[in-house]
Structure 1
Amino acid sequence: MSSKDGIGRRRLFTTAAAMGGTAALGGALGGQAHAATTREARTATGFGPVKVTASDAQYGELVHGANRRYVGSPEAVHLVDDVSQVAGVVQAAVTAGKRLTVTSGGHCLEDFVFHPDVDVVLNVSRLNKVSYDAGRRAFAVETGAQLLDVYTLLYEVYGVTVPGGICYSVAAGGHVSGGGWGLLCRPLGLIIDYLHAVEVVVVGADGKVRTVVATSDRNDPHRELWWAHAGGGGGNFGVVTRYWFRTPGATGTDPKKLLPKPPQEVYLSAVSWPWDSMTEAKFSRLVQNYARWFTTHSALGAPELALASFLVLTHRSSGQMAMVTQVDATVPHARAMLDDFLAAMGEGVDVRTGAVTRRFAEFGAMAEYAEPRRLPWLEATRYLGITNTNLTDPTYRQEYKSSYMRALFPDEQLAALWRHLTTDATLPGASITLSSYGGEVNRPAPSATGYPHREAFFKMMWMSLWNDPAQDADYIAWNRQCYADVYASTGGVPVPNDVTDGCYVNYPDNDLNDPRYNQSSTPWYTLYYKDNYPRLQQVKKTYDPKNFFRHTQSVRLP
């Protein structure tokens, strides 16, 4: 769920020395101590809440997200550009008995927002300000702010960052609430590990809307709402209007010391392996080499946490498999670490690597990185963000599945991967990406935040991207069959055990609800949330007792 605006779109950033005042966010806010919240001054150019219906020319552009498989038909789409406008839209929908969903831009991969039963869509993508809040000693990020804009403002002005995702136009809203992932996660952790507070518009049992600011402070009466938004998934409890970020335990008032600093420079590498040189034994060795390196080099404090990578196992019809690696260039022996990693990946494979000359998964060709290049961190971050064709091609149709891995691949899983990646079909848009985890991601306990996957060393993403609706059945069937075969021994899904650790809620998969595809005894909510689900249900009961905010895989009332 994030903004779909182009990379060239100019944004207004206000860096405030302090934010004061009280936000009267709609109707009856009750006597809650945190119902009122700070609010930045805005320019007079705001457009105010706008209601768009099917009679308006732009309606068709506002009823779908990045995945063109899902197009909604709501009665109206409401666009807001100030946090004070959100509560009124929500209250009107509650009063009228209308089902409402929220988009912070459109990168939800399932039908959670643009579902046929939805009456009203609240579009918060123009809530995109990033500022420093001196009162909270934290950085305020509105829910529609795109990640690359967040990184740019924080780094260019303060020299700091938050360890969020690669995709430039994913917005903070859904990304943060689902846990987030990025190339800095191994040395820094997840973006939610820096979440200090969240502002949420909720609906009470009496149908009245109020706004709550929940913080990580131990004595905050709303701390459970903060906990739930630190990885408990989007669209479950209310409308997030903004987040505040600060390093836990940070002291003082200097903004430059309240979030971590990214590497000043990084090495960036992209290499490929030609499919026509691969045998099953070589393929299995390559994939297992990746698993072995990250299960071996992910302990807290390990120098190798400076290295992150993603290996893209494309379908044979694409011609090449590819791997992108980033290393903090400022750590001792950084280039040697990268060279050793690349050598370890090729050990026993006996296939020479080359340049990435073709599209792989969501990325375009990266031939100029066959020899590692040393780049400023923000430049490398921009490059990887805008190289993502999934974000720059608005016609893609998509299908996703996910899993977390805690150990090496069993032989039967490697065999299943080979079988499905080497079918005779022409499916160049089908792929499986392995992404590195471990390190600081695994420092917190699984129960410390709503995000429970603190024991995995890498993550897998089944991704199919295509343009022609006539290919829907082929790509969807490939994803389903491959996934079911890889996890055949556990009912077709990666149940939490010594090898696998469930699924990633930010890559939602409605098939997990379906007994035809999930034949295990582990329900979808345990795959996403593990033992944290009952606690998330209690948060739901407290802050959304009417189950107003719901979708196909929303947290259910207890």
Structure 2
Amino acid sequence: MSTPSAGIGSRPVVLSDRQGFDRRWFASKLEAVYVPKNDAEAVTHVGEAISRYGRDVKVVSGRHCYENFIYNDATKALIDMSSMNRAGWDERRAAFFVEAGCENWSVYRVLLNGFNRTLPGGSCYSVGAGGHIAGGGYGLLSRLHGLVVDHLSAVDIVTWNASSNSAELHHVSATSTSNDERDLFWALRGAGCGNFGVILRYYFDELPEAPELASIYTLSWNWSSIDTASFADLLACYAEFVSDMPETEFSLLKLTHVSSGQLGMIVQAVSPEGTTHLDHRTEVERRYTEARTRFGAIVDHTPLRNPLGGHPGWTTALTGNESVQHVTYLEALQTLNGSGPNQFGKYKSAYMNKAFPPHQAAAIYRWLNTTPQGVSEPDMSQSLLQVDSYGGAINRVASGATAVPQRDAIMKLQYQTYWLNASRPGEGSQPPYRAQADAHLGWINEFYREVYAEYGGTPDPAKDPSGTVAGAYYNYPDSVLGTHDRGNVDDALWLYFLHNFRNNQRNLVAVKRRWDPANIFHHAQSIPVE
């Protein structure tokens, strides 16, 4: 494939530049890649790229975007943040910092090994901090310590001044002297992904101490032992379980497709500060026995035969199988720290404030037992609905304090389907592979629509008088919810941000209008100027 001439300050494009982590996405017309190594280069490169390519410039850190907001046929230039990949302590700012090009695994290792600190962020090792933190950031310590943005104290960001046609570096925080900068900082705490500028660095005045120990266990059940009634009971039991669990625990219920043969749950429990090793182990063993009894009253447990997939928490080993695995915190990060292989994938999300209503449980059971036409049953073996525990410290933050409004949820859902084939880069949706992609996409989209049929096909709290659902997660973007091209992007952005989108006095549309009136930082679900 020939490479067009690159812009000034950029480097030539290579094939891997065109490919997202999700193999569905490919930037076929990419002409230039800018790789800043410091703040000065970032300002220069952003200015050069936008001056030459305008809105066809996109920003990338870990390449994990679930939709084609970056890797598409319109993208002409990338600002690749991978060379700004340091984390540590900034003496001048008297704060911890994480640069946008860092990946989760590097952040955890540097903060833990250098300072005995951690972030309550995601478990997928290769996800970039640039998008992960700006979208909210949550993970297996979030029940204990909240979202990553709840700890954020300042951000360095390069914005575009439409009046002077120039790039500008700003250090914004809740204590900035300018109201506009304080508003921008608020928006970057949950809605910063590709909307307002190029984030270079995150600062944290304080970070939680890393736990000493972590314990992991798995419960698993054979699909052959589960019918509609026991499945509904299992979901009801899980909702009670996550509502009752201590904040030091986090669970991932992996409702895998029937073709996988089993479904299961992973629980991580970290040691509370000041707890002895013996006391921690004793308490987790007690909780494990209690959980086995609680869930075993519904469906008999069986040993896990294959690792449980899905994001987050993709594992390649039979984690804590039939016993509790007691490890150091670093080992726990390694054990549950997996992004999985590069594949084709589609994702959808929902927040839940309450347990699953009967019609939702029935729909979930039906679709997990449905294989779409055009694929074989084994091709569905990685497809699942993952139900993560939520709440705890997350729920002690007001809905308007950050851009993330879902502060009453007890569970967070991620619908996932994966497939793989022998297609070359950029050709995965072309014949003869298109039928496979269409089958997976049709399955997950219809699955989702039926679960939320009572609310119009999405988890829209405005159409749910029961208060069960609470919208969707911006970091799990889903173009089916609405896009600019289809003229219904407000439908999606309402689900992500609720009243923080347009209705509140401090809202994202107003911040966008102030900081990016030319709408330079634009994608299919970006915040609109009007």
2:25 matches 1:70:
yes
Q: 1:413, 1:403 → 2: CA distance?
A: 12
Counterpart selection for 1:110 from 49, 56, 67: 67
Give, in angstroms, the shift of residue 246 of structure 1: 2.2
Q: Tell me whether 347-356 or 336-345 shows the greater mean CA deviation.
A: 336-345
Counterpart selection for 2:444 from 479, 482, 495: 479
Q: 1:341, 1:216 → 2: CA distance?
A: 44
Q: 1:481 to 1:368 in 2, by over 3 A?
A: closer
Q: What whole-Å deviation, never above 9, does each CA across 1:314-345 have from its counterpart, x for those lacking one?
A: 10011111211011234555325532552365
2:37 matches 1:86:
no
Q: Work out the number of aligned pairs and report it.
A: 482
SS in 2 for 1:417: helix
2:147 matches 1:190:
yes
Counterpart selection for 1:168 from 125, 143, 146: 125
Letter in 2 for 1:479: I
Contact map agreement 2:142 2:393 (CA 8 A) in 1: yes
Q: What whole-Å deviation, never above 9, does each CA across 1:451-473 have from its counterpart, x for those lacking one?
A: 11111011000011111242211
Match of 2:5 in 1: none
Q: Percent identity?
A: 32
Match of 2:455 in 1: 490
Contact map agreement 2:315 2:336 (CA 8 A) in 1: no
2:287 matches 1:338:
yes
Matches within 5 A, 1:89-488: 89-98=45-54, 99-206=56-163, 207-217=165-175, 219-221=177-179, 222-247=181-206, 259-297=207-245, 304-330=246-272, 331=275, 334-336=283-285, 338-339=287-288, 342-343=291-292, 345-362=294-311, 363-367=314-318, 369-370=320-321, 371-386=323-338, 388-389=339-340, 393-394=341-342, 396-425=343-372, 426=377, 427-468=380-421, 469=428, 470=433, 471-488=436-453
Q: What whole-Å deviation, never above 9, does each CA across 1:128-164 have from its counterpart, x for those lacking one?
A: 0112112222111110111111111111111111111
Moved over 3 A (4+): 218-221, 329-333
Letter in 1 for 2:526: S
Give, in angstroms, the shift of residue 89 of structure 1: 1.9
Q: What RMSD over aligned residues (CA atoms) do the two structures have, in Å?
A: 2.2
Give, in angstroms, the shift of residue 84 of structure 1: 1.8
Q: 1:150 to 1:424 in 2, by over 3 A?
A: closer
Give, in angstroms, the shift of residue 205 of structure 1: 2.2
Contact map agreement 1:49 1:80 (CA 8 A) in 2: no
Letter in 1 for 2:255: L
SS in 1 for 2:501: helix
Q: 1:185, 1:203 → 2: CA distance?
A: 33
Q: 1:522, 1:121 → 2: CA distance?
A: 26
Q: 2:190, 2:305 → 1: CA distance?
A: 34
Q: 2:110, 2:290 → 1: CA distance?
A: 33
Contact map agreement 2:121 2:138 (CA 8 A) in 1: yes
Contact map agreement 1:450 1:529 (CA 8 A) in 2: yes
Q: 1:141 to 1:365 in 2, by over 3 A?
A: closer
Q: 1:152 to 1:358 in 2, by over 3 A?
A: closer
Contact map agreement 1:327 1:334 (CA 8 A) in 2: no
SS in 1 for 2:519: coil
Letter in 1 for 2:450: D
Give, in angstroms, the shift of residue 491 of structure 1: 0.8
Q: 1:173, 1:334 → 2: CA distance?
A: 37
Unaligned runs of 5+ residues in structure 1 are: 1-47, 54-58, 248-258, 298-303
Letter in 1 for 2:49: A
Q: 1:217, 1:491 → 2: CA distance?
A: 41
Contact map agreement 2:483 2:525 (CA 8 A) in 1: no
Match of 2:478 in 1: 509
Letter in 2 for 1:383: T
Letter in 2 for 1:329: S
Letter in 2 for 1:429: Q
Q: What whole-Å deviation, never above 9, does each CA across 1:217-236 have from its counterpart, x for those lacking one?
A: 26454111111111114000
Match of 1:13 in 2: none
Q: 1:356, 1:213 → 2: CA distance?
A: 51
Q: 2:319, 2:266 → 1: CA distance?
A: 12
Q: 1:345 to 1:71 in 2, by over 3 A?
A: farther
Q: 2:157, 2:74 → 1: CA distance?
A: 24
Q: 1:124, 1:404 → 2: CA distance?
A: 30
Letter in 1 for 2:478: D
Counterpart selection for 2:515 from 543, 550, 558: 543
The TM-score normalised by the length of structure 1 is 0.82
Unaligned runs of 5+ residues in structure 2 are: 1-7, 422-427
Q: 1:87, 1:341 → 2: CA distance?
A: 56
SS in 2 for 1:305: coil
Contact map agreement 1:356 1:365 (CA 8 A) in 2: no
The TM-score normalised by the length of structure 2 is 0.87
Q: 1:357 to 1:365 in 2, by over 3 A?
A: farther
Q: What whole-Å deviation, never above 9, does each CA across 1:504-529 have from its counterpart, x for those lacking one?
A: 000000000179x999x981111000
